[in-house]
Chains A and B, each alone.
Chain A
Amino acid sequence: MRDEHITAMLDDAPLSTFGESELAVMRSHIAGCDRCRRAFEAARVSSLMLKERAAEEFEPSPFFQTRVLAALREHRAANEAANETWTLGRLWKAAGLLVSSMAVTVAALAVFTFVAPQATTTTTQEVAASSADNSYSAEAVILGEGGASDEKMSYGQVLTTLYGSDDGAAK
C-alpha cells in the first residue's frame, strides 16, 4: 500500500470520512511521493473550503411567507386571466364558424332560388324539342316528315311501325 498512489483513494470519499489507519497509510505514502503529497494537500484544502461554504446558510426572512403568498395569488390571477382569454378565444372561434356556416347556407339558398329554376325551364324545353325531332314516331312516318330518316328505313320497317301495334291489339 505504501507504494500505491493515493489519488484514487482521495477521490473515492471525503477526506473527513477516513479513519486513523487509512490516514496513517496515506501519510506514510506521501512522505516519499511528491505528486501524492500535493494531491493530499489539495484534497485537504478542498475539504476545508467546502465545509466553509456549506456552513453558509440563510434563514427565511419574516416577510418571506407574505412574499410567497403574494406571488401565489399573482400566479393564480395570471392563470385565471389566461383561462379567460382562452375561453373567449374559443367562443370567438365558435362564433366565426357559426357565421361562416350561415353565410354558406344563405348563398346556397340564393343559388337554389334564383339560378336553379331557370336551369329547369331550359331542360324541359330541350326535352320537348328533342321529342319533336324524334324521327321514329308514327306521326312523322305517316306525314312523311324527316326525309333523311326515310331513306335509312326499309319498306318493311315502315309497315311494321304502322301496323305492328294494331296486329298486337287484334290478337
Chain B
Amino acid sequence: MEHASDLELARRSLAGDESAFAEIVRLYGPRVFRTASRFFRRREQVEEAAQEIFLKAFTQLETYEGRGPLEGWLTRIATNTCLNLTRSARRRPELMAADLSEDQSEWLENRMADAATELQRSFERGRVAADLTERVLETMSSDDRLVLMMVDGEDASVKEVSEATGWSESKVKVQAFRARRRMREAVERLLAHGRRGTGKSLESAGER
C-alpha cells in the first residue's frame, strides 16, 4: 500500500504535479537530512546537500519503479550523492594532539579517567566529543566515514549499509574492519600524546 502511494507520488511528480513532489520532500526530508548529517556537520552544508539530493532524485524519478519503498531508493541516492560530494574534498592530514582544542583534550583525558564509569552525557560534552570525532573523521576517506558512522555510530547492520551504498556485504565488512582499525589507531595516538602531556596513565584509569 505504501509502495503504491510512493509510486503514485513519483508518477504525479513526473507528470509535473509540484504538490506531489512537495509531499515527497515533506515525507522523506528527515531521512535525507539524517543521511547528509553523516557527512556534514554544519546545518547549511546539510541543507545544501539535501537540496542537491532531492534535485537529483527528481531527475532520476523515472527510474523508480515502485519495487521497494521510495525511502530506501532516496537513501541510496542521498548516500551516493554525499559520497561524491565529499570524495572530491581534500582529506586533512593526520590529527595531532597539539591540534586539539582545550575542550577536546580535556574530553579525551576525562574519557581515560572515566574508563570504568558510565558516561554522564550532557549537551556540551556531547558537542565537544562530536567536534573531536569530526576532526578525526576528516582525516579519513568518505567511505571510511560512512561505514563508521553507520555501523559503529548508528548500529546499522552490514545489510543496511549494503542497501544504502550498493556495495556488497563483504565489501562493507572489509571496509568497516579497516576503517575501525584506522580510527582506533588515530585515537590511540591522540591518547598517547595526551598521556605524555598530562602525566595521566591508562593504567590508573583502568584501576578505577
Contacts and interface: CB of A to CB of B under 8 A. Distances in A.
Interface string B33-54: 1101110010100110011001
Interface stretch (A42-50, A135-143, A149-157): A42-50
A88 B183 CA distance: 56
Interface stretch (A68-76, A98-106, A121-129): A68-76
Interface in B173-208: 177-178, 180-181, 183-185, 187-188, 191-192, 202-203, 205-206
A167 interface: no
A53 to B, nearest CB: 4
B33 A42 contact: no
Interface in A24-50: 30, 37-39, 41-50
A41 B191 contact: yes
Nearest to B151: A14
Interface residues of B, number: 57
A84 interface: no
Contacts of B148: 50
- Among A43, A57, A68, chain B packs the most CB atoms within 10 A around the CB of A68
A14 B148 CA distance: 9
A7 B54 CA distance: 41
A57 B126 CA distance: 12
B119 interface: yes
Contacts of A16: 152, 155
A108 interface: no
Contact of B187 (A49, A65, A72): A49
A9 to B, nearest CB: 11
A145 interface: no
A11 B191 contact: no
